[in-house]
Amino acid sequence: VANYLPSISSAIGGYAPQKYIWRICVALHAAPRFLFAFAYFGYYTSFHVGPRNTLYKNLARLCVFLHVLENTALVTLTYVSSTDNYAVHENMFIVFMVCSEVYMLLSCILYKWSHESNGRVMTKSEVRSYQYKKRLFVFNLAMFLTAVYMFFRHEWYCETGVYSIFALCEYLVVFSNIAFHYTAKYDFSDQQVLLAGEESGDHPKEIMSGSNEFKTCLDVMMPSFFLICSCVLFDVINNARCK
């Protein structure tokens, strides 16, 4: 049956230069993603939420673990395509999606818990960040569940256009995942990245300082992903066929 939109794996996995651009961009953004995982742990644990603070900190630790595992799975499934090793690619995709969904849910819980504990009131920027997180999580989960349904429906009935709907949902899952992580620009808008070495005096010697705060890393990450998606969408013209 006819298919009008290739899945991400179909469009990137075995074709050049798409797969090389994708791999380069994922590699470039992987290090900042690991950095933000631990930055968020420091961010959340800077709050004291009262009697249940131990539970709160344990959830923050779990959140960091899921964030790191999500990023590790993404890098692995990027460099091990479905044609190279289908089992590894499939398992890493499952790990990526499970960690991603649970991480987003925990992030929403921790953000609200930390910013409304002990009578604290969110600022406008914090409210914006929380609302974006919450809506993007719900949208991401809805698109993922729809994609799963459409994939199995395609496998069972092979109806015209069903695989294209699955592929569209897959793209929306990726975009909403990117957008969710991009909300860090609100949370770290007053922070700077600083590399420093020891000096004989009382103050450390500054080696490198981010002049435009944490969000500079994020602003570099976003164009890379949109470049990737542009390359992928270019393949729509190629009249892809269902496998």
DSSP-based three-state secondary structure for 32 = helix
Rounded to an integer, what distance in angstroms lies between the CA atom of residue 193 and that of residue 217? 9
Q: Is residue 99 part of a domain?
A: yes
pLDDT tens digits for 1-32?
777 888 887 777 667 777 888 888 888 888 88
What is the C-alpha to C-alpha distance for residues 202 and 214, in angstroms, rounded to an integer?
A: 26
For 198-220, the DSSP string reads --SSSSPEEEEE-TT-THHHHHH
How many structural domains does the chain have?
1
Provide the pLDDT for residue 196.
61
Distance CA 204, CA 47 (A): 27
- Decide if 158 is inside a domain: yes
Tokens (6 digits) for 159? 């109806």
CB atoms within 10 A of CB 210: 14
Give the range among 19-33, 110-124, 162-176 with minimum mean pLDDT. 19-33
- Reported as a single tens digit per residue, the pLDDT across 181-211 is 999 989 988 777 666 666 555 555 543 444 4
**pLDDT score of 224:** 52
Give the CA distances from residue 152 to residues 57, 98, 104, 159, 240, in Å, rounded to whole numbers and listed in that order: 39, 18, 25, 11, 19
Report pLDDT digits (tens) over 151-167.
Answer: 999 989 888 889 999 99
Mean pLDDT of the chain: 82
pLDDT mean over 156-180: 92
What's the pLDDT at 241?
A: 46
- Which residues form the domain of 83? 8-238
Is 50 exceeded by the pLDDT of residue 92?
Answer: yes
Q: In this model, does residue 136 exceed pLDDT 90?
A: yes
Largest CA distance in the chain: 73
Does 112 map to a domain? yes
Least confident of 9-13, 35-39, 40-44, 117-121: 9-13
Residue 36 inside a domain? The answer is yes
Cα distance between residue 100 and residue 91, in whole Å: 14
Q: Is residue 153 part of a domain?
A: yes
pLDDT of 141 > 90? The answer is yes
- Note whether residue 51 is domain-resident: yes
107: Cβ–Cβ under 8 A, 6 or more apart, which residues? 40, 63, 133, 137, 180
**Which residue has tokens 């925990």?**
106
User: Does residue 3 lie within any of the structural domains?
Assistant: no
- The predicted model scores a pTM of 0.82
Cα 176 from Cα 68, distance rounded (Å): 18
The answer to whether residue 1 sits within a structural domain is no
